[in-house]
Structure 1
Amino acid sequence: MSLEVRTVTESEFPDWSRALDTGFLNPPVGVDEVIAERLARADLDRTRGAFDQGRCVATFRSFAQELTVVGGAVLPADAVTNVSVSPTHRRRGLLGRMMAADLTAAKERGDAVATLISAEYPIYGRYGFGPAAGVAEWAIDVPRTGLDPRWSGPVDGGRIDLADAADVRKLGPELYERLRLRQPGATDRDERWWQINTGEAPTGRPWVEPFHAVYRSASGEVEGLATYTADDQWGDGKQPKNTASVRKLIAVSPRAERALWQFLCSIDWITTVRTGFRAPDDLLPHFLPDPRAARIVTQADFLWVRILDAVRALEARTYAVPGTVVLDIHDRAELAGGRFRLEAGPDGASCVTTTESPDLVLDVRELGALYLGDESVLRLVALGAVSEERPGAAAVAERLFRTPRRPWCPDVF
C-alpha cells in the first residue's frame, strides 16, 4: 500500500505524538495533560504526518515565527520543527513530501524565509536550507579565570538579585524583546515559551527548578537575566567540584553580560561553569582576566535559513557598504530562484529581477547561509559552492553581506 502524507486531525494527534517520540528516541509520553499541551501548541493545518495503514510513521510541524535580520528588520518566517521519520520507514521520500507541502504553503502564505534547527548536518541542504548562524559553548575553569574570589557585586553601580519563575515571566519578555530586535538571527518568544521554560506548562520531561539572577543597572533598569542549574559533586578531601550549567543568559549591554558571568563564577562551591549555547564570537572569554580559562566544548552550525522570497528577503536587511551585484539563484523547488540585481547599502536595498549577465551563480542554500552575514562569499567561491562569473564580484559581495558581529539564535525550536 502507498504511504499517505497529509495534515493530522485532532483524533490522530496522540498517535502523531507517539511517532514523534519514537523518532527522537524518547519514551512515549502518553500522558493526557502533556498531549493536550502539545496539541495546544500545534496548528493542525501545519502539522503533517505520513501514515502506513493508519499508523503514523513520520512527523512534521511548522509554526509562525519572526526572524530578526541584519539592520533590525523582522521578517515573517515558517519555523520547521518536530521532524521525524520512524526507523522502519526511512529512505522512502517521506520527509521530502512533507517538506515540499509545507514550503509551498509557506510561500503562498507570504513567509519570506523558513527556519529550522538541524539535528543532523547533511539533511536539509537538499531542501534549500543553508547554515546561517552557528553556536559555541564554553566550559569555564573558575579557579583559572583570575577573577577576584572576594567579588561581592558589580562595580558599575548596578546590582544582581536572585529571582523566581514568576519574576522571570514578568521581567523576561520585555528584556528579550529589547535583545531580539537588535540581534540578527534571533526569533520571537510567545507567552507559552515563557510558561514552558519556567515550569508552568507541562512538557512530559521531569522539571528541575533552576536558579535565576537578574542584573539591574545603576538606574534600576533590568538589563540582563541568567537562568542556571547546579549539580552536587565533591572530590577527595571534601573539596567541591560543582558545575553551574547555564540554560539561558540574555543581556542588552556588555556591562550586564560581564556582571552576570562574574556572578556565576563567584558562586560558592562552583568550580566549572558551562555556558550553554552562545554566539561563536561571544564576548565571554574576554571578560575573564585569563581567557584561556574558557575552553570551547561545542562549536557547530545551529540556525538554518531557507529563502522563500528572494526580493523581500534581500530588501529587508541592510548591508555594510554601498554596492551592486547581479545574483543568479538556482532553486530546484522553484520557490525563490531567478536572476536579481541587488543594489544595496547601509540604509537598505533594492532588489529587482533582471536579464543582465550574472556576477555570481549560487544555489538558494548558499544564499541562506550568506543571508545573516555569517558565511563568507569568498570562502564559498573557494569551495566551489558559488561561481564567480565577473572578476571581483565575489569581493564586492563579501563586503556587502558580511557583518562585524556574528548572528546568533538564542533558542532551540
Structure 2
Amino acid sequence: MSAVVRPIAESELPAWLGTVNTGFLTAAPPTDSDVAQRARYSDLTRAHGAFDPDTGACVATLRSFRQEVTVPGGAAVPSSALTNVTVLPTHRRQGLLTRMMAAELAASTARGDVLSTLIAAEYPIYGRYGYGPAASVSEWEIDVPRTGLDPRWSGPGDGGRIDLVDVAEARRVGPALHERMRSVRHGMVSRDQRWWNLATGLEETSYRPYRPTMQAVYRSADGAVQGLVAYAADGHWTDAKVPLNTLQVKELLAATPAAERALWHFLCSIDWVLKVRTGYRAPDDLVPRLLPDPRAARLVTAADFLWVRVLDVVRALGARTYAVPATLVLDVADPGGPAAGRYRLDAGKGTCTRTDEPADLTLGASALGSLYLGDESAVRLGALGEVAEERPGALELADAVFRTARRPWCPDVF
C-alpha cells in the first residue's frame, strides 16, 4: 500500500516536526516549546504529511502559509508560501512530493491565492510543478581598506544621523520601515509579527536559536527613520594582536539611497573591521557601485532565490504594471494545473482576459513564473526553448513589456 497523504492532526505535530528536522539534517528532536509555537502560529489544515501504511510514521512533510508578494507597480498579491518540504531518505522516489504538491496547489487555488512561492533548496525539483526562478540574490565581501572610503568618516553629511539602538527599538521601528519598502520594491514579501519576534529574540526555536546582533538606525534630517541595519562580527585577531574582524550583515533596510549609502559607509568605518559580508542583496544593489573602488567588493554568492508559481493568470497579470502599452496573447501550458489556457494581456490598460485569439507566445507555467516579476528575459527563455515565438518579434516585445527598471529582490528566507 502507498503512503497516505493528508493534513495532520495537532496530536501528530511532534512527529511531523521530527520528520522536518530529519529531512533538513537536524538530529535534535523538537522541543515542547517548538511544538507549542508551531501549534500556536500555524494553520494545521495547511500542514500536509505522508504516513507509512505499515508503521504509521510520518515520512514526508509540506506546509504553506499566507503571504503577500509585491509585484511591479507596488500591488500586494496574495500568495501561498511553501516551506518545510521534506521526504525521508527511506521513502524517496515514491511520488510523495508530487501527491503533496497536488493537494497543496488544489487547496491554494480553491482559497483564491494568485501565486504560490518558495525558496528552493535544490534547483531541479520545482520546475516540474510549475514554479520558475523569479528573483535572485547576490552577496559581496567588501575589503574595507581597498574601498577608497574616507577612514575618518564620522557620520552622514546630509543632515541625517546614525544611532545605535537596542533590539526593542529595532523591533519597534522595523515593521513600519519594512512595510514602506515593501510597498515600492517588487519581490519583497510580507512579514508577520512572529517574523519580527524571531528576528529580535523575543521568541526562538531550538532549530533556529537567536543570535544577538547589533542594530543601527539612520534618521533623516527631519528625524524620520529611513534605514535599519542589524549586524554581528567575529573576533578574529592575528597572533601579533592585529584585528582582522569580519562583519556580517544580517539585515539592511533602506528606504532612500541616502540612507543606504550612509549605512554602508557606517559599516565600513567600524574599528577593527577589515571585511564586510553584505548578506543577500538584490543583484543590482547599490553595493558595490557606491564604493569609490567597486573592485573592493568581491561577489561571493549569485543564485536563484524566490520561485513563483502562477495560479490565477488573469489576476496575476492584471495586478502588475508594465513599461510598454502593448498587447500580447500568451498560450500557457499547465497540464492538469490552474494556469492552463490562452490569455490576452493588454499592458496599456493593465488587464488580462481569457481569449481564443491566435497566440503570440507559447510557454509553460514555470516560464511564466520566471517572467512574472520582470527579472527574466523572454528572449533568453526563447533561446533555451522554454518559450516559443508564434508571431515574429513577440519575444522582444515581451521583454519590453515584462522587464523592470530595477530587479526584484526578496530578502527573506521562509
Alignment TM-score, normalising by the size of structure 2: 0.98
Within the candidate set 310, 331, 334, 1:331 is matched to: 334
Query: In structure 2, what is the equivalent of residue 391 of structure 1?
Result: 392
Count of residue correspondences: 411
Within the candidate set 265, 275, 292, 1:272 is matched to: 275
CA distance in 2: counterparts of 1:167 and 1:238, whole angstroms: 35
CA distance in 1: counterparts of 2:392 and 2:30, whole angstroms: 60
Query: In structure 2, what is the equivalent of residue 308 of structure 1?
Result: 311
Query: In structure 2, what is the equivalent of residue 15 of structure 1?
Result: 15
Moved over 6 A (4+): none
Q: Please list, as runs of the form range in 1=range in 2, the aligned pairs for 1:6-85 lying within 5 A after superposition.
A: 6-52=6-52, 53-85=55-87
CA distance in 2: counterparts of 1:167 and 1:338, whole angstroms: 50
In the TM superposition, residue 41 of structure 1 has moved relative to its aligned partner by 2.4
CA distance in 1: counterparts of 2:231 and 2:61, whole angstroms: 32
5+ residue gaps in structure 2? none
Query: In structure 1, what is the equivalent of residue 321 of structure 2?
Result: 318
CA distance in 2: counterparts of 1:168 and 1:54, whole angstroms: 45
User: The residue matched to 1:238 in structure 2 has which SS?
Assistant: coil
In the TM superposition, residue 334 of structure 1 has moved relative to its aligned partner by 2.4
CA contact (8 A) 1:318 1:349 kept: yes
Query: In structure 2, what is the equivalent of residue 147 of structure 1?
Result: 149
User: The residue matched to 2:79 in structure 1 has which SS?
Assistant: strand
CA distance in 1: counterparts of 2:132 and 2:30, whole angstroms: 35
In the TM superposition, residue 207 of structure 1 has moved relative to its aligned partner by 2.4
CA contact (8 A) 1:37 1:201 kept: no
Query: In structure 2, what is the equivalent of residue 244 of structure 1?
Result: 247
Q: Give the letter aligned to residue 190 of structure 2.
A: D
Query: In structure 2, what is the equivalent of residue 202 of structure 1?
Result: 204
Q: Please list, as runs of the form range in 1=range in 2, the aligned pairs for 1:206-245 lying within 5 A after superposition.
A: 206-245=209-248
CA contact (8 A) 1:8 1:47 kept: yes
In the TM superposition, residue 8 of structure 1 has moved relative to its aligned partner by 0.7
User: The residue matched to 2:352 in structure 1 has which SS?
Assistant: strand
Deviations 1:61-88 (A, max 9, x none): 0000111000001111010011011111
User: The residue matched to 2:368 in structure 1 has which SS?
Assistant: helix
Identity of counterpart residues, as a percentage?
Answer: 62
Deviations 1:360-405 (A, max 9, x none): 0000110000000000001111111100011011111110000111
CA distance in 2: counterparts of 1:356 and 1:34, whole angstroms: 53
Structure 1 window deviating more from structure 2 (23-32 vs 42-51): it is 23-32
CA contact (8 A) 1:37 1:202 kept: no
- Correspondence 1:341 to 2:341: no
Within the candidate set 96, 99, 104, 1:97 is matched to: 99
CA distance in 1: counterparts of 2:137 and 2:244, whole angstroms: 26
CA contact (8 A) 1:59 1:84 kept: yes
CA distance in 1: counterparts of 2:34 and 2:59, whole angstroms: 20
Query: In structure 2, what is the equivalent of residue 121 of structure 1?
Result: 123
In the TM superposition, residue 353 of structure 1 has moved relative to its aligned partner by 1.2
Deviations 1:276-320 (A, max 9, x none): 000011011111110000111000000000000000000000001
Structure 1 window deviating more from structure 2 (50-59 vs 361-370): it is 50-59
CA distance in 2: counterparts of 1:353 and 1:17, whole angstroms: 42
In the TM superposition, residue 338 of structure 1 has moved relative to its aligned partner by 0.3
Query: In structure 2, what is the equivalent of residue 362 of structure 1?
Result: 363
Q: Give the letter aligned to residue 384 of structure 2.
A: L
CA distance in 2: counterparts of 1:334 and 1:124, whole angstroms: 14
CA distance in 2: counterparts of 1:402 and 1:79, whole angstroms: 24
In the TM superposition, residue 241 of structure 1 has moved relative to its aligned partner by 0.7
Question: What is the alpha-carbon root mean square deviation over aligned residues?
Answer: 0.9
Query: In structure 2, what is the equivalent of residue 402 of structure 1?
Result: 403
Judging changes above 3 Å, is the alpha-carbon distance between structure 1 residues 379 and 158 closer, same or farther for their aligned structure 2 residues?
same
CA contact (8 A) 1:7 1:48 kept: yes
CA contact (8 A) 2:199 2:210 kept: no
Alignment TM-score, normalising by the size of structure 1: 0.98
CA distance in 2: counterparts of 1:24 and 1:217, whole angstroms: 43
Q: Give the letter aligned to residue 75 of structure 1.
A: V
Deviations 1:203-240 (A, max 9, x none): 11332210001000011000000001110001242111
In the TM superposition, residue 359 of structure 1 has moved relative to its aligned partner by 0.7
In the TM superposition, residue 4 of structure 1 has moved relative to its aligned partner by 0.8
CA distance in 1: counterparts of 2:209 and 2:377, whole angstroms: 42
In the TM superposition, residue 153 of structure 1 has moved relative to its aligned partner by 0.5
